Amino acid sequence: MERRRRQGMTLIEVLLALAILGLGLAVLIECTARCLGVARRAKNFEAARYLLHRVELEHPLNGSDPVAAGVEEGVFGAPYDAFSWSRTIVPAGLDDEPLFEVYTRITWSDDRRESTEETATMVFKPEQASAGSVPVNK
């Protein structure tokens, strides 16, 4: 009697193929989740950079008011409810020199951990003479 050749796959071959496919799918799902997390963090840092510029525009230091050392804080409205800001102004010059270090920080909560973006700038703000006064030469 002649043996017929079997066609198809054995049970072991099918199980091995399913195991390899399952492992590949698990790795693909994990990589996708990580990519989405990186994209979300990048979006938050981009929003923080935008909000840093917004703080500089809404609360300028180059107006007519003198710069004073201290801390300012605030929050943003929708759609940036999760973000807050603080600005720390520290004198950097000598006692009579109007030079200041300004640290502006944006803080937000991302996946139950706090993240920040900060800029540091130097501001030179000399006292301006009043509009009605004229310097006197002796």
pLDDT digits (tens, 9 = 90+) for 63-91: 777 788 899 999 998 999 999 999 999 99
pLDDT band at 138 (very low <50, low <70, confident <90, very high): very low
Task: Tell me the residue type at 19.
Answer: A
Asked if 125 and 109 touch (Cβ cutoff 8 Å), the reply is no
Give the rounded percent of residues in the chain with a pLDDT score beyond 90. Answer: 59
> Phi/psi of residue 20, each to 5°?
-65, -45
Strand partners, 99: 124
Domains of the chain: 11-124 (3.30.1300.30)
pLDDT digits (tens, 9 = 90+) for 11-53: 999 999 999 999 999 999 999 999 999 999 999 999 999 999 9
Q: What is the pLDDT of residue 120?
A: 94
What does the alpha-carbon distance between residue 132 and residue 117 come to, in Å, rounded to a whole number?
Answer: 43
Asked if 86 and 102 touch (Cβ cutoff 8 Å), the reply is no
Task: Please give the residue that has the higher pLDDT: either 45 or 4.
Answer: 45
Q: What is the pLDDT of residue 27?
A: 97
Strand partners, 122: 101
pLDDT digits (tens, 9 = 90+) for 110-137: 778 899 999 999 988 877 544 544 554 5
Task: Tell me the residue type at 48.
Answer: A
What does the alpha-carbon distance between residue 2 and residue 120 come to, in Å, rounded to a whole number?
Answer: 87
